Structure 1
Amino acid sequence: MVMGVLSVAALLTPLPDINHLAKMPEYLSSPLSQVEAVENGDRPLSVQQAMDFIADSRMATSYLKSLFHDGCALLDAIEDGHIDEGADLAEIINQYESSAKVITGQLTLLKLAYTLAESSEAWKPHVSLLRNHASEILRVLANSRNILLRIAVVLKQYLPPVQQTRPGYTPCSSESSFREAVEISHKKLGLSPFFY
């Protein structure tokens, strides 16, 4: 096992560009948005048109697939190595979680778009092709989101522990403070005093 130190740059490598993610449904739903023009003629898409529309949106999935593979490689590296102590992990985790939220929103929009396209007259002869394409795109998008969330969860393990104490509470460190805590507890529970 090779132990290395992961720098901030390495931790951010699979992090997607938020602007690119925001435009992703536009690229992935291009076959659907172009259907309107065809539907105005009240005729179904030809096989060539359907294949062209799907090919256009498939190009956009290559970005998501590379994001997924980069994320898997980073996950392996995080689990095998050490993280640069100067890294602001809380901010990096926040960026991963924000990207995952954006992708979740895009998933919802694309599911709706593909559902509408399936009910469209233009896609009726090619519904099975559209369904296969939609399930592939949605799977790639969901996998990308899931890898971003997994990276965030694994990175949280490297955050320094947060003390979960109540204000004014100090753990028992001496016999007298322990005895006092037991007496208070017995009074609250209505038990007889404990004598040692």
Structure 2
Amino acid sequence: MARPKTPILNRDAIRAAALVLIDREGLEGLSMRKLAEELDVRAASLYSHYRTKEELLGAVADAVVSGIDVSGFAKEDWREGITRWARSYRVALAAHPNLVPVIAAGPGRREEALRRADAVHGGLVRAGWPPRYATMIGASTKYLVVGAATQSFARGFDADVRVYRDRYPNLSQAHRLPDHAAEIDEASFELALSSFLDGLAPLFERVRVEA
């Protein structure tokens, strides 16, 4: 019997199925055996595409990272670059919260992640930031984004007004926060981002003069 012209499995299909599994069951829910069951194949057939679970996990993380926008840094406009990067970075992490520990740990040797790290650092330096500051700005932006993508301030409060009445008068409206969580979280992220950028502006002028 002739072999099929198109292989039953390919790296893209395996990667996509692994991401679905991670989104549904978390990182601990990903195993080559379980993934093979999802794809209705033998686990051994996965290893011809990805040698280890860790290699597959890195590929999944890289696929998600590939959607993060660093194009703003090409214009040598550091403020525009950080804004696009931070917003798209947050969206990518928020869409796949179970994958955050892998992505947030750093690029390691992942190609797409390294390309974006290179674009961010290079863009900041070309715009006039000294390399040391470019490194710290990259780290600071990451801290802001990861926190915003993985935590919800508004959803941390109880919707029962009785929790706050009498004992916590300054939180008398806290029970309303969960109903507006998405709006509050988005606005809070934008406030933090704009305040961060505004704070960097005078520092940028100072370090340029010192350089």
TM-score (norm 1): 0.23
Rg larger in structure:
1
The structure showing larger relative contact order (alpha-carbon pairs under 8 Å, at least 6 residues apart) is: 1
TM-score w.r.t. structure 2 length?
Answer: 0.22
